Amino acid sequence: MKLIIAIVQDEDAARLVSQLMNDGFGVTKLATTGGFLRAGNTTLLVGVDDEKFDKAMGVVERVCKSRKQIATQPTSMAGVNGVYSPYPIEVTVGGATVFVLTVDQFIKL
């Protein structure tokens, strides 16, 4: 048995949970916060039997695609203290950070 810990952007979380549940996987959703762009993210815990692991990972890969997004980053203007000027930068968002752990025992009470 495997435990999939998937950290996904909030924007992808609802679709991923829905798709995993439609495919018969149990999901535990944890609200978490990431440091990049100060955006919220969601951590999902999914326990799967070894033979269903590839199917579950396929769902994560299908739903959580990386994409480009324009974001603003405050920077200090030269020669003017305390004044900030945001300028747009292109960043990659989405996708998923996935940890896979082998589970020795699973107990559901």
The string of pLDDT tens digits covering residues 16-70 is 999 999 999 999 999 887 755 556 789 999 999 999 999 999 999 999 887 666 6
Query: Tell me: domain 2-66+94-102, CATH 3.30.70.120, correct?
Result: yes
User: In the prediction, which pLDDT does 96 show?
Assistant: 86
User: In the prediction, which pLDDT does 11 show?
Assistant: 83
CA angle (89 as vertex; 87, 91 as ends), nearest 5:
150
Considering only CA atoms, which of 49, 10, 48 is closest in space to residue 26? 48
Q: Output the pTM of the full model.
A: 0.74
As a whole number of angstroms, the distance between CA 61 and CA 53 comes to 12
- Model confidence at 9, pLDDT cuts 50, 70, 90, reads confident
What residue segments make up the domains of the chain, in order of their start?
2-66+94-102
